[in-house]
């Protein structure tokens, strides 16, 4: 060790070294804290707030037997050959689209069909720009309705014909399977009740309280599961019955959808809406600029004031820290 260093260390006693070390550590901590505040001000450094969810408790749920055994009916296959009864199960739909300068007249003309006893309206919507109708017509009266719509000069008037023979047979097969399952489930439920009743009677006769409690608990759980499955089957049967009835309804009625749109040469309302939206966009843009000039500028001024305050605090700490170090050194 050089002579100068040994002479310097010999002048420093242990208390001086402790005070100098503590003062230096305090200055370092204060400086690092301020640097951290500045870093957070600019979004620098690691981000907090990211949480990692642990493995939660997962309830083990038994999948319903009904939902496994009875999925929804599969759609008809593309390569299906309907057979000799295909024509007997033909269903026809019409779809018309009309553009007209007389919207009210065209919509009123469609609505006059409501007075026709062979026409059943299912949906009707109308506003000052368009109207839409969905209805069904008895097959014997379809020709008159087609002529009525043709008189309105539709842009498109599409007729679709398809056979629903396979769809109806699929529904019938699914319903038959459900009925068989319902019979089997009802028998299983009755058999289970009898078996558990015998088990309960046996447990009572032998005075086995634990076996009796288990038998009653198992009986309640098992019968409840079978009951829930039976209710699910009944719900599925009702849903499939309604779907089959809807398909069969297409053999009695022909379905129509008609949409009417006003064809305006000069759309004053549309032009007004466009101007209104453009004006809103301009006002929003001006507001955004004004916010940037005012609030943004004020924010920057506060930020500069914050940095000036940090600098002043650092200067004060450095000044008094230097004085403290000098006094300790002289002491």
pLDDT at 80: 40
Residue 297 has pLDDT above 80, yes or no: no
The arithmetic mean of pLDDT across residues 249-260, rounded, is: 92
Model confidence, pTM: 0.47
CA distance 242 to 245: 5
φ, ψ (nearest 5 deg) of residue 13: -85, 170
Residues 81-117 have pLDDT tens digits of 445 567 778 889 999 999 998 899 999 999 999 988 8
Contact, 90 vs 253, CB < 8 A? no
Please give the pLDDT value at position 70: 36
Q: Is pLDDT larger for residue 13 or for residue 136?
A: 136
Mean pLDDT of the chain: 75
Weakest-pLDDT range from 53-62, 223-232, 235-244, 314-323:
53-62
Give the per-residue pLDDT at 37.
Answer: 62
Residue 199 CA to chain centroid, in angstroms? Answer: 49
Q: Is 70 left (phi over 0), alpha (psi -120 to 50) or beta?
A: beta
Calculate what percentage of the chain has a pLDDT beyond 90. Answer: 20
Which alpha helices (DSSP H) does 42-102 contain, by range? 65-69
Under a CB-based contact definition with an 8 Å cutoff, are residues 64 and 226 in contact? Answer: no
The model's confidence at residue 49, banded by pLDDT at 50, 70 and 90, is very low
- Residue 57: which pLDDT band, with cuts at 50, 70 and 90? very low
């Amino acid at each position: 060790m050089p002579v100068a260093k040994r002479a310097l260390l010999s002048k420093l006693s242990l208390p001086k070294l402790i005070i100098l070390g503590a003062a230096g550590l305090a200055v370092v901590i204060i400086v690092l804290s301020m640097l951290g505040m500045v870093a957070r001000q600019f979004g620098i450094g690691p981000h907090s707030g990211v949480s990692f969810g642990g493995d939660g408790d997962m309830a083990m749920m038994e999948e319903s037997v009904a939902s496994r055994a009875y999925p929804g009916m599969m759609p008809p296959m593309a390569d299906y050959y309907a057979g000799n009864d295909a024509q007997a199960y033909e269903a026809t739909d019409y779809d018309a689209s009309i553009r007209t300068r007389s919207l009210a007249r065209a919509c009123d003309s469609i609505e006059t069909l409501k007075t026709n006893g062979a026409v059943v309206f299912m949906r009707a919507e109308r506003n000052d720009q368009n109207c839409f109708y969905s209805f069904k017509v008895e097959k014997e009266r379809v020709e008159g309705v087609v002529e009525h719509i043709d008189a309105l000069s539709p842009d498109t008037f599409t007729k679709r014909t398809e056979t629903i023979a396979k769809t109806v047979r699929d529904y019938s097969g699914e319903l038959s399977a459900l009925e068989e399952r319902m019979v089997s489930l009802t028998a299983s439920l009755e058999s289970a009740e009898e078996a558990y009743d015998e088990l309960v009677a046996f447990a009572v006769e032998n005075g086995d309280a634990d076996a009796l409690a288990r038998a009653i608990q198992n009986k309640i759980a098992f019968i409840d599961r079978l009951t829930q499955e039976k209710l699910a089957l009944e719900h599925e049967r009702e849903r499939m019955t309604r779907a089959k009835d809807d398909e069969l309804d297409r053999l009695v009625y022909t379905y129509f959808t008609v949409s009417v749109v006003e064809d305006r040469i000069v759309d004053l309302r549309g032009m007004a809406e466009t101007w209104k939206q453009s004006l809103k966009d301009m006002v929003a843009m001006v507001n955004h600029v004004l916010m940037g000039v005012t609030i943004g500028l004020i924010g920057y001024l506060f930020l500069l004031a914050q940095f000036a305050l940090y600098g002043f605090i650092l200067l004060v700490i450095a000044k008094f820290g230097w004085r403290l170090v000098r006094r300790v050194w002289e002491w």
